[in-house]
Structure 1
Amino acid sequence: MNTIDPRGEPARLIRKVHGRAASDGAGVKLTRVIGGPELPELDPFLLLDEFGTDRAEDYLAGFPSHPHRGFETVTYMLDGRMRHKDNHGNEGLLTPGSVQWMTAGRGLVHSEMPEQESGRMRGFQLWVNLPAREKMTDPRYQEFAPDLIPVVRPAPGVEVKVIAGRVGDTLGPIVQPATDPLYLDIALEPGKAWEYPLPEGHNVFAYVFEGALGVGEGDDARALETHEMGVLGGGGRLALRAGEAGARLILVAGRPLREPVARHGPFVMNTRQELMQAFVDFQEGRF
């Protein structure tokens, strides 16, 4: 059970990151928060993209077939529908509020294509590194519809969707012992506050995608605005207070791997030799 030590130091915003416009797949427009020049990675996180638009031309081309090896992709849909398929015969449909945690492992080729021609498409994709011992594991999926993601209301005016990790006695459905992740979607009504005990030894970030909030206590509180990410540190409890328009954010944490990273495009290994082998294996059809 999560418990707050009232004497514990509150976590602070030690760095702010502004997302940059980017495109991926067949030209899908998105905002890159982790994985760009401002913040190349935050061990074990390799990339965070936010996508959100009402313009079909910004997303309709989707993400045609492409390979992955050596890490995990986490897709969290807020709005819209995305059909995914891979070369192992797996197929599914991500609907609003659903999450897919895909472990690419030794390799697969998959596609993610919008299953709509109009309306809003919005969500996040997060890349999580795998430790060396698990990079060549068999690919697998943890995929959950919105009704399988628990929602808790731990304080007045606060609602939390628990995708991974724990809030009180409530556990999220995603399990990954290697990085012991936390992934929460937090909504705060205007002016409401909430405190949460952060996992010890993890790297932690908060990304605000609606409204604004303050992080910290009293004169030490710092603001996070819409489309800003805050890297957190310096304390074991997180104090949040929403602004006048309320706030919605994702809070994500993971145990750092502290291993060398050899990375190029869709492959993330530990050495250059392993990276070169990934390209050879893909080209020779061994995914």
Structure 2
Amino acid sequence: MHSLRISRLIKSSFIGNRDFSVVKVRASSFDGLMDPLLGFEHFKMSTQAIRPRPYAGMCIITYLFSDSAPYRILDTAGTDLILQPTCLSWAQAGRGLVQTASPDPEGYFSHGLQILLDIPGKHKQLDPKVIGCIDAQAIPERLDSGVNIRVVIDYDGESKVNPIDTQRALTFLHIKIANGENFVYDLPIGWNGTTHLLSGAVRVQTNVDIKYLSAGTTVAFGESSFIERLAFIAHAESELLFFSGLPIQEQTYNSGTMFMSSTEELGKAIADYEEGKMGFITLMEGKWKIIPPV
């Protein structure tokens, strides 16, 4: 039997400039406790700041906050989508695709998350595909005693609140807590959980320890043989992200945003990208043009 493990606190800050800034959080800093997340990027941009880059061996989830401008996502798997504020898009990179994104129109600020979600090794060689988009009205909100919860994704392996097929048990909550109020979550047996505080100050209380989070801080929990009650108590008006899911527990090898099951698979993914087998996105006469995979 295993008791709850808790990671160290890691504080991240925005890097960049007034046109583009990002906070990057990667699972490699959390000793396996972020699994099935590979990481996420919290971005603010007003220009074409995310240049075309290859993704492989994962799912790419994009979520926009309410203060965001619309956001155009373009990839070589067939996505050409204008994502609206408080909506979510989901693509499975599989053996590889190339993606870029920008505010629409440029000059306005897009503000959101790009979440990198691991997939089992047996799925990493599947063809890339667009899984779907969740509109704002399809994302439930719960209001209770100073706590506002957007249930962006909630799938326990049997039932789900949104039409996206996550293929694995996964929860993603966007939570706002008034000063002095609290939110409680029961982490299922064997699941991992990750919390990132966007703003405010929160005390996280478990049966093994207490952690104090300031804005920009991330902490992860998991590997317990018991249902673990996590209590989030706000010491100021606070906004946080909470992810939880069943870990995949498979070794990955990565180069940038390509995460494969072996060094051989990673080498092949890099070669596929360089040889155009994932396609390319190139700038022609001021517009992005997709060159299909060869």
Q: What's the counterpart of residue 33 of structure 1?
A: 25
Report the alpha carbon displacement of residue 104 of structure 1 after superposing the two structures with TM. Answer: 0.7
Q: CA deviation digits over 1:165-191, x for unaligned, max 9? A: 169x9724443233x111001111221
Distance 1:88 1:31, change over 3 A: closer
Report the alpha carbon displacement of residue 275 of structure 1 after superposing the two structures with TM. Answer: 1.0
Structure 1 CA distance for aligned equivalents of residues 188 and 162 of structure 2: 14
Report the alpha carbon displacement of residue 271 of structure 1 after superposing the two structures with TM. Answer: 0.9
CA contact (8 A) 1:62 1:114 kept: no
Q: What's the counterpart of residue 42 of structure 2?
A: 50
CA contact (8 A) 2:207 2:228 kept: no
Provide the aligned length of Structure 1 versus Structure 2. 265
Percent of residue pairs bearing the same amino acid type: 26
Q: Which runs of 5+ in 2 are unaligned?
A: 279-294
Amino acid at match of 2:199: E
| Bigger shift: residues 42-51 or 97-106 | 42-51
CA contact (8 A) 1:34 1:40 kept: no
Structure 1 CA distance for aligned equivalents of residues 126 and 172 of structure 2: 23
Structure 2 CA distance for aligned equivalents of residues 218 and 199 of structure 1: 14
TM-score normalized by structure 2?
0.80
Task: Say yes or no: does 1:188 pair with 2:191.
Answer: no
Distance 1:173 1:223, change over 3 A: farther
**Equivalent position to 2:112, from 123, 148, 167:** 123
- The alignment yields a C-alpha RMSD, in angstroms, of 2.8
CA contact (8 A) 1:205 1:232 kept: yes
Distance 1:196 1:69, change over 3 A: same
Give the 5 Å matches for 1:1-287. 14-22=7-15, 28-34=20-26, 38-39=29-30, 42-52=34-44, 59-78=46-65, 79-138=68-127, 139-153=129-143, 155-165=144-154, 171-178=161-168, 180-216=169-205, 221-233=210-222, 236-243=228-235, 245-287=236-278
Distance 1:186 1:170, change over 3 A: farther
Report the alpha carbon displacement of residue 11 of structure 1 after superposing the two structures with TM. Answer: 6.8
Report the alpha carbon displacement of residue 199 of structure 1 after superposing the two structures with TM. Answer: 2.5
Amino acid at match of 1:47: G
Amino acid at match of 1:145: D
Structure 1 CA distance for aligned equivalents of residues 183 and 258 of structure 2: 38
Q: What's the counterpart of residue 7 of structure 1?
A: none
